[in-house]
Structure 1
Amino acid sequence: MANNETSAAQARDFYAHRHQGILSTMSLAMPGYPFGSVATFAPDRDNRPLILISAIAEHTRNIKADARVSLTLTEGGNDSQAEARLTIIGDASRVPDSEIDEAAARYYRRFPHATDYHRAHDFSFYRIQALRGRYIGGFGRIHWVEGAALNAPNPFSEQDEAGMIDHMNRDHADAMLAYCRLFDIDVGAQTPRLSAIDGEGFDLMLGHRVARIAFDSPVQTPTDVRKAMVALVQRARSATSR
């Protein structure tokens, strides 16, 4: 894999493990200065950050006046300078009415506590179209990644993805626990819940935490997903028996 492709894959993987970051907008109250606020997000079908924000929030007013934003993601450890981070630079826009149902389904699968905020409260869905990303994977590993490389489309339809998620959550809680054991993911008192599947992996929610599990190789069909997940269960059982 070429260096730029490797950097893009690493940046996507880092992004896939995160669920919140610092959203920076162009301030109306302090013209010319950036304004930072904490924002949670879920990836949309093209892997673009999907955010749910209030009409009265400072960042929402800023976005309506100037769409230019950045979203900075960090590992959240004790030494931020030594750890990986990613800043996505792009334009934020409100999700069209025709796409709100799909956006809501994806967002609320990750954040069920916020279900129907866009109906019961004055919240709206926005998404960020990445132009470029600045990925720092550690000392000396600093790369610009083009937006098209960050925005990897999901190969599954919304219906296929939702069906796979529902099936796993309804019938295979034991398999999801096995995945967590295999990758040393601490579940605590939480029951893992599948929230998203794409061509490179899937997301398990542990309360408000996201546990990202990558497939060994990219998948393109629901059959591919089934085979990949069965293989992971077999690996987990083999590791347990040893």
Structure 2
Amino acid sequence: MATARKEEAIPPGSGASPTGSRAGLFRTPISGGVHSATSAHDLPPPALAVRNLMEQARFAHLCTVMSRMHHRRAGYPFGSLVDFAADSIGHPIFSLSPLAIHTRNLLADSRCTLVVQIPGWSGLSNARVTIFGDVFPLPVDKQEWARQQFISKHQQWASQQWGNFYYCRMDTISDVYFIGGFGTVQWIDVKEYESLQPDKIAVDGGEQNLKELNAIFSKPLREILSTEGEIDDAALISVDSKGTDIRVRQGAQFNIQRLSFEVEHGVGTLEEAKKALQKIINRGCNQRKKL
């Protein structure tokens, strides 16, 4: 998922940064916030970054208001981990048990927030979004439709739930608060968010795409990154039309690197992403040979 965050991509073809980093693989701090970062580094607009994130994340934290049935806890925020799927305009759909505290809270007070993090979360520099809205049970004639949305995203797991689950939807979204990293925060216009379609590659394949890309490129990316210092692991954790986010581990320390595809019209399929990544790997290997 492309997000604006406090790191700067080295311009394509620059060869190396002042510290010797390879082009396209390392970034250094910038300032100016989300708009300048989006423009300078060819990232998707923040509203689109949120739509991509909502497609690629499978789980989120749902925060509801404790109902009066909980006595001394009434009125306090209650956070719980839930799975979700987004519909065609980005509104989240939930599969909830009537026995769950958050379900009972929503039936008493529909107001809630949903906090969604980038898959592979490893720190406060990672992207996340908070969506404010009201959640209501879907009518009987919409339950099967919602189930299909879940199966599409969660595959077989969604068709094997136990218990008397039913589907709910955030019918109204009042606000969207996006954090792309340190210093890159913005309130997203809800109408703009609802009008955008996520990148095709962010929707198609999901975790399977990332699994296949990692099987091919994780090792060569780690080798190229290790030129500047030993890297224990490099894993692709999200992908969009303009690039991919890579979680880099050195011992117990993690950081997120942005790798731009440098394809004029972006990529839309897994095969196009493979070609773009292979081009970057080949360039990195050639640069290593010259050292």
The answer for the alignment partner of 2:75 in structure 1 is 32
CA positional deviation for 1:238: 6.3
1:142 aligns with 2:185: yes
Residue of structure 2 aligned with 1:92, choices 135, 158, 178: 135
Report the CA distance shift for 1:47/1:234 in structure 2 as closer, same or farther (over 3 A). same
Q: Secondary structure at the match of 1:61?
A: helix
1:103 aligns with 2:129: no
1:6 aligns with 2:24: no
CA positional deviation for 1:73: 1.9
- Provide Cα deviations, 1:11-54, integer angstroms capped at 9, x if missing partner: 22333332111100010122221111111111122221111010
Query: Are 2:143 and 2:166, in contact at CA under 8 Å, matched by a contact in 1?
Result: no
Give the Cα–Cα distance (whole angstroms) in 2 for the partners of residues 97 and 87 of structure 1. Answer: 29
Residue of structure 2 aligned with 1:79, choices 123, 148, 154: 123
TM-score when normalising by structure 1: 0.63
The answer for the alignment partner of 1:215 in structure 2 is 241
Query: Are 2:89 and 2:195, in contact at CA under 8 Å, matched by a contact in 1?
Result: yes
Q: Secondary structure at the match of 2:74?
A: coil
The higher radius of gyration belongs to 2
Query: Where do residues 161-172 of structure 1 align in structure 2 (5 Å cutoff)?
Result: none
Query: Where do residues 118-133 of structure 1 align in structure 2 (5 Å cutoff)?
Result: 121-128=163-170, 129-133=172-176
Letter aligned with residue 22 of structure 1: H
Give the Cα–Cα distance (whole angstroms) in 1 for the partners of residues 158 and 52 of structure 2. Answer: 25
The answer for the alignment partner of 2:157 in structure 1 is 113
Query: Are 1:42 and 1:107, in contact at CA under 8 Å, matched by a contact in 2?
Result: yes
Q: Secondary structure at the match of 1:122?
A: coil
Query: Are 1:131 and 1:148, in contact at CA under 8 Å, matched by a contact in 2?
Result: no
Give the Cα–Cα distance (whole angstroms) in 2 for the partners of residues 114 and 176 of structure 1. Answer: 20
CA positional deviation for 1:88: 0.7
Query: Which ranges in structure 2 are unaligned for 5 or more consecutive residues?
Result: 1-33, 39-43, 220-235, 243-266, 284-291
Q: Secondary structure at the match of 2:45?
A: helix
Report the CA distance shift for 1:23/1:178 in structure 2 as closer, same or farther (over 3 A). closer
1:45 aligns with 2:71: no
The answer for the alignment partner of 2:109 in structure 1 is 66
TM-score when normalising by structure 2: 0.54
Give the Cα–Cα distance (whole angstroms) in 1 for the partners of residues 217 and 136 of structure 2. Answer: 37
Structure 1 stretches of at least 4 aligned residues deviating more than 6 Å after TM superposition: 236-242
CA positional deviation for 1:177: 6.9
The answer to which structure, 1 or 2, has the higher relative contact order (CA under 8 A, 6+ apart) is: 2
Give the aligned length: 192
Query: Which ranges in structure 1 are unaligned for 5 or more consecutive residues?
Result: 156-160, 186-209, 217-226
Q: Secondary structure at the match of 1:151?
A: helix
RMSD over aligned CA atoms reads 3.8
Report the CA distance shift for 1:11/1:228 in structure 2 as closer, same or farther (over 3 A). closer
